[in-house]
Chains A and B, each alone.
Chain A
Amino acid sequence: MATDITFEQVNYSYQAGTPFAVQALKNINLQIKSGTFTAVIGQTGSGKSTLIQHLNALLKPSSGTVTIGDQVITNETNNKHLKPLRKKVGMVFQFPENQLFEETVLKDIAFGPQNFGVSEADANELAKRMAGEVGLDESLLSRSPFDLSGGQMRRVAIAGVLALEPEVLVLDEPTAGLDPRGRLEIMQLVTRLREEQGLTIVLITHQMDDVADYADHVLVMGHGELLKQGTPREIFSDPEWLTAHQLGLPSATRFAYELQQAGFEFETMPLTVSELADEIAPQLGKGDDRHE
């Protein structure tokens, strides 16, 4: 199941050829390895959403090439050949609850697979399973999606994408506007899918804690350019650079950074709370020695 994603010299302009033309992506080169968890961060308007819409060819590069698995997408690629790609790359857009439309939750989840030729019976079966995956109660399946709460609607929408059984799952701020528990549950769902099914995950987020906790590759976007890429550790090791680009730090790292300025020393900057605790504990011991 090799679906490596490669961007080569990708440029993209909105409304090319009009006075409103805006270049949203400038010369992007990157690679997303199959099975990895990639986080995309950057200020609002930095081109993150434009970037991920290239991942299933909703947008085609104005110049350059995007390669997904064995499919090469350029400016000339015909829309007719893109359908298999749409199944391979599942997209969960921002506020996906806005895309629900069927009479029942079950029908809505089964809508995607049916578009790709799965029979109604099989699609319903799949829908039931996916509803279970995202933690929706079976009793909700016959309800109208518009009767549900915001959090439940979002799960239905995510289940609808998972029902496509994609190999790559792209999520644009899936936890925006959810309560802390809802956020944790969605993030745990995503990590579980990756571990159990080997999905490639691409996540846009402003939650640096999520980046530190879950991602193994980070892309930093700014003004349509790829400013930096690397592991979370590499990216978050330079707090000054991040602040200069108006990006936050994970809370553990921020706390460690403040401690460092107050005289603590860290061998490596901690990313998560448990790493932070591991770093601080021995130093506290040392501190006690000093005081006594």
Chain B
Amino acid sequence: MNKVMFGRFIPGHSWVHRMDPRAKLVLCFLYIAVIFFANDFWTYLVMTVLLLASVVASAIPLRVYIHGLMPLFWLMIFTVLIQVFFGAGGHVYWQWGWLSVTQNGLNSAGVILMRFVLIILISTILTFTTEPLEIADGIESLLSPLRKVHFPVATLALMLSLALRFVPTLMDEAEKIMNAQRSRGVDFGEGGLRQRIRTIVPILIPLFVNAFNRAIEISTAMEARGYQDGENRTKYRQLKWRRLDSWSLVIYMVGLSSVVALRYFI
């Protein structure tokens, strides 16, 4: 649990850190959408350059990002192998029964691997440089037009920020409970499937019970502090769109639209 880097926040003061979370969310979504337009060397080159520029702007060393990719390494290998061996069409290089390596198979394996890595890296930039609460604020702000159709944006945002706030707390607690049960002779991750499932019970039940107790305590504390419901509240953390964000948007727009242009017009 200690080694997971994926999805963590790394404090800093870089260009990307100082950006508005809304801008980062929008850019991240746009980037992921445009990845599916990229189909050849030049378009992927543009996407990669854009990504590397963002990595540099985030002032976090590339090896930290690569470290973040590691947990997904086997998943990547697996998808690539499936594409390589089951892809059909084009020149056949090698064949054995219904396994074959073909030109189209290799192509799509390359494309999928590239998309996989780029999508993970761009979302890692977002999570490395943005505090979870900022992301929640950003999402709330971006969803606010949905108020018009009576979608409970404020309630959703509250749930989201409470959930995000308690992820680390619950993780700590899970680890404490695991240690306590380990001291009482529970072997985690050993034995057959049945045995393993049985060892989850002594973690899961206390975790649930504590979560219930905590929920009761939090709601009482919130009511005691005058919380009534999500509507009509003022905000302490104000989101501010700055020139930095506009410039980032411009740079991304140039990059991303050139990819679309390369795909359809050239």
Chain A residues with CB under 8 Å of chain B are 14-15, 17-20, 53, 56, 58, 83, 86-87, 89-91, 93-94, 96, 98-101, 111-112, 115-116, 146, 160-161, 164
Contact = CB atoms under 8 A, between A and B. Distances in A.
B177 A115 contact: no
A19 B64 contact: yes
Contacts of A87: 185
A115 B180 contact: no
Q: Is the interface of B mostly helix, strand, loop or mixed?
A: helix
B2 A19 contact: no
Closest 5 CB pairs of A and B: A115-B185, A101-B205, A112-B184, A99-B180, A91-B183
Interface string B63-84: 0100100000000000000000
B117 interface: no
Contacts of A146: 209
A224 B72 CA distance: 34
B165 interface: no
B232 to A, nearest CB: 37
Contact of A93 (B179, B186, B187): B179
Interface in B1-21: 2-3, 5, 8, 10
Contacts of A160: 184
Interface residues of B, number: 25
Nearest to B179: A58
Nearest to A145: B209
Contacts of A18: 2-3, 5, 67
B183 A58 contact: yes
B128 to A, nearest CB: 10
Contacts of A164: 184-185
B186 A115 contact: yes
A89 B179 CA distance: 13
Contacts of A17: 3
Nearest to A58: B179
Given A91-B180, A96-B180, A99-B206, A83 B185 contact: yes
Contact of A86 (B5, B64, B67, B185): B185
A83 B188 CA distance: 12
Contacts of B206: 98-101
Contacts of A86: 182-185
Given A14-B2, A18-B5, A18-B67, A99 B173 contact: no
Given A18-B5, A101-B206, 9 more contacts: A15-B2, A19-B64, A87-B185, A90-B183, A91-B179, A98-B210, A99-B180, A99-B202, A164-B184
Q: Is the interface of A mostly helix, strand, loop or mixed?
A: mixed
26 contacts: A18-B5, A18-B67, A20-B8, A56-B183, A58-B183, A86-B183, A86-B185, A87-B185, A89-B183, A93-B176, A93-B180, A93-B183, A98-B173, A98-B176, A99-B181, A99-B202, A100-B206, A101-B206, A111-B184, A115-B185, A115-B186, A116-B185, A146-B209, A160-B184, A161-B183, A161-B184
B193 interface: no
B201 interface: yes
B176 A111 contact: no
Contacts of A161: 183-184
A86 B182 CA distance: 8
B67 to A, nearest CB: 7
A24 B184 CA distance: 25
Contacts of B181: 99
* Most chain B beta-carbon contacts within 10 A, residue among A14, A19, A93: A19
Contacts of B209: 101, 146
* Most chain A beta-carbon contacts within 10 A, residue among B176, B180, B182, B209: B180
A219 to B, nearest CB: 20
A56 B185 CA distance: 11
Contacts of A58: 179, 182-183
Contact of B202 (A14, A15, A20, A111): A111
Contacts of A100: 206
Contacts of B64: 19
